Structure 1
Amino acid sequence: MSDTFGQRLREHRHAAGLTMEQLSERSGVSARAISDMERERSVAPQRRTVQALAEALELPETDQPAFLAAARAGRPRPTATVPAGCCALPRPVPDFTGRDRELARLTQVATSAGPAPAAAPVVTVSGAAGTGKTTLAVQAAHLLSTGFPGGTLFLDLRGMDARPAGAPETLARLLSAFGVRDEEIPADGTDRAGMYRELLHHRRVLVVLDNVADESQVRPLLPGPGPSLTVITSRRLLAGLEGVHRLNLAQLPAGDATALLRRIIGDREPGAVDEVSELCGRLPLALRIAGNRLMSRPHWTVRHLADRLSDERRRLDQLIAGDLRIAAAFSLSYTQLSPQARRLFRRLSPAPVADFDASLAASLDPADPESIEDALDELVELSLLQAHVDGRYRFHNLIRLFARERLIEEEPAAGRDSAA
């Protein structure tokens, strides 16, 4: 009998008189994966895959140990820690301010990560565009990194792109980061996920999966039992993920928002700084833009910027600094909506109340009143609306201004008059 797993698999399959397709049907392992194993393009099958093949081949008990040992021998021996520079954390923000409660919660979850068989903890950080989800995750990862001797990994899953990163592609990057050679990465996505979970089983690693599109993109990347910690950021609430710790970011408290702006621009014009902070909706990205704008225009006073921001019709146009644009951040979320949710989002913007319920929303979009609650849920899921108490909803003030701009640009005059 040959020594390699691929050779043994082929010989046992021929002895059983099975084609690859027949073995696939019996075992539940894809024919492509079987082909890759036999050709030794995939030399690292997982235990459950090998066991399923052994059962489908009806191997005698005397042949099973050698079959399983050949599979084990082909598995990679990755490094114990993540190589330096591989999926490295981005640079932390030097003037990070606030989010003490959220950092404390992440620290608490990190310290709870223990050895198997306990499930490795997962934290989702969700919130509207501009709330600082990535900044918080990166800050926490840098602070907690000494507690994860296996290393830290950061991957941007491009959730707002037209083509977000697929789970198999991301798993290949993660396995490469652990030192698995390209030829040893399984072709089958399920086997990749199994190998990744096995690698995390005894390693204390912190993984940040940033900018996640939805549950299906990230579910195969969730760890099994072990001491690792996974932090996921997304504009979506990812309500379909089970057994995760959830942090939902909103605007900063007034004191923290003002402190952030002061850390950027220095101790200047306290009254005007407070006003700019409120006009920015205490949103970290808007505050960053306002601060950068002042720092790049040293002859501007804070009062001058406050006066420019006070005009609601021009406020979003003022919140631009280089490649940072608050309206562009909101637009990425807006493009993810269904046509009805976009229409409702626009038409809700003139509502003369701080919060509203589904009956008001239905009056603004009478074409399909039965789907109004679904559209509202979609807006909440993408963090474009905030779910308030007792079935009521509210806008963040900058998002309301963005919705009003969309109403003016995309609705005919009759539609705008009807909404008003």
Structure 2
Amino acid sequence: MPILDPSAESDLPVVICAVSGLGGIGKTSLALYAGHKAVRQGWFPGGTLFVDFRGYDDNPVTPDQAVLALLGKLGVQGADLPATAPEQYVLYRELLAERRAPMLLVLDNASTASQVNRLIPGTDHHRVLITSRDRLWALDARLIDLDALEPGDAADLIDKSLRISDERDDRVAREPDAVADLARLCGHHPLSLQIVAGLLRRGRFRTIESMVEKLRNTEDRTTALGVRPILEAAYDQLLPEQARLLRLLCLAPTAEISKEAAVALAGLATDQTLALLDELAASRLVTPLLSAGDVRWRLHDLVRAFGVGVVAGDAGLREEGERAREQLLEFYHRWAEAADDRLNWIPGMAEPERFADRLEAWAWLDSERAGLVAAVQWAREERYADRAARLAGCLIRYLEWWRYLDEGITVARTALEVTQRSGDRSVEARTWNRLGMVLRTADRTEEAIEACSRARDLFQDIGNRHGEATALDDLANALAKSGRLEASIEAHVRCLGLYQELEDRRGMGNAWNHLGVTLQGTGRTQEAIEAHTRARDLYRAVEDPHREALAWSNLGLALGRAHRIAEAVEALDHALDIHLRFEDWRCVGQVLHNLGVAHMRDQPTEARDYLLRSAEAFTRAKAPSEAAQAQAAADALT
């Protein structure tokens, strides 16, 4: 496709190709083929970016979710992500504009122009390739309509597919009329033809004419995309264990599923499940995808729709499917809870299951995130409400920490809907507070204040003093972020009083530490120093080194503002030692950066060393923008 050549002239402000056609017609295959060919020709030294929008799923990828994925592939993750969607789009477009080496963006399976509009680069040296079942006429793009194959091409596809597994397979040559009939019955539809070819490969000595007869005798052959008879024929050929697994995969929360999740859904041994998945892949009913060194399994959306229909039409299969979904929820909840426990673990607590450190917990949550978030939506069904709501509670802190804020808000609101329906006011109060935490991070401060206020009031009504103190703490933080510093200080003081009544020293430490941050914002530096010192001592008393390190870090910043540089450096050194012990590289990078700033005036050589170490730590924490800032500051001192 010469139009993709970045050196080719075009009258379009940004060269966009939008390929449209029926589901399974080969749009994605064509896009990937064209992309690979262009890359081999050296057209895109800047690399490629790919997003599957799942535009025709029940839960399509939103533009806000897509920009997060693209930023991740551009190296921006976690705490480096801007808090709000508008800021994320700005950063995304800035990064593309800065990359002068041409890149190819493949935006696959979009249902509307609005899904992709905001992701189009603002510069003309990159290229965009979009696929959709619909003709995206609203885009300023070169529209390419992909139709069914020509009869000869359809026959060639079948022939090549059969010869891949056995070069001696000459059935196409021996039965040309049957091949033409088969292609016609499939509507010359590539997906249908590939599935049929898979069945013929399995039945090596089956005639093509026998397949033609089976398809001719199948009812409802003319469904919307013309693939139902092929799917039914493929389904009928499956052994009972294979058919069962296919049905269950179709009921999974997302089209793509991990090996572990497939095992949980099937309720079978790992080896047995993997063998069945391999057999389904051989029938072209699932597709194995290599991801981060492991294999994930994806169903075409047409296959999923077929499987859901099969289950819906049989009461016994519906019950089978519901039991499997409960098994999958149990799997998700068990390990999400273990991961959340690891993220909140401190010495002296029981060791969580499975995950040796935070990095392992984060990696698992990242790999399963789409399924976890989608499974929470099952909470709206009464059978799964309790388990899915508990799953939501395990995810909110992780989603907030890594700035998956749209998903965090969706998960929290779903959990809130369920708890309000159940009438459990204690759980409802906790859920309001978690929602407030995510809203605050998303800079939706007024909504955060309202959510935390609701949590506080509910805790007061049911006499839960500890919950009230926690809600007051989060309310105070939201007030501070909104600029209402005096109101924030007042709420922190009330929170502190409650924790003192409860003799909760860790809670008192939280209140003092957060109060100190707000006091710094008002310029009351000496009071802030005293607050952070109290927090540090309380955390040390309860043997919470992670929070102690945060208090040391805040104390160092306050001492620096008071121009007590030697004391500030000593405090930051204490924070650094603890963060290094926990291998919390983001916090290590921040403390090293602060140490570099503290040394800039009198010891520029030492300052540069701290800043270089900061850049290295941020790189290890996958925080490229902060690493670049530290590197730039170090370079400025040369």
Could you state the TM-score of these two structures normalised by the residue count of structure 2? 0.33
Comparing both chains, which one has the higher relative contact order based on Cα–Cα distances under 8 Å and sequence gaps of 6 or more?
1
More helix as a share of residues: 2
Q: Which has the larger radius of gyration?
A: 2
